[in-house]
Amino acid sequence: ENMVQRLTYRKRHCYNTKSNKVKVVKTPGGKLIYQYVDKAAKAAKCGGCGKTIQGVPQVRPRQLSRLPKRRKTVTRAYGGAVCGGCVKEKIVRAFLIEEQKIVKHIVKKQQQRQKNKKA
């Protein structure tokens, strides 16, 4: 009759909650113990499209706070908050809007010239 070995939590917290997940591990001495499992980290997402941002490590908030600034961001406009594709889109959109303003201005001037010639 082989009895099943009972296991106890090794830390103070004794409830099966999200923050207290464990897995059973066999030690070199043949004993079974609980090993605490860290929560899975989620990747940083783009504020525009929701895709994961390249170059920002996928770590829990506590570890992220310990990282240096250069590892938390990407060196570009909106780095670490918006992906490169969205930044490119913003730049192109802003450029096209400015171009449109210039075209409107030119058209307006041409119409004024037309009116002046008729008068």
pLDDT band at 118 (very low <50, low <70, confident <90, very high): confident
Q: What is the pLDDT of residue 3?
A: 77
Segment 55-83 shows an average pLDDT of 94
25 pLDDT exceeds 70?
A: yes
Strands 32-36 and 22-26: what pairing?
Answer: antiparallel
- Reported pTM: 0.68
CA distances in angstroms from 90 to 51, 60, 85, 105, listed in the order given: 16, 30, 9, 23
100 pLDDT exceeds 90?
A: yes
Element (H, E) at 93: helix 84-118
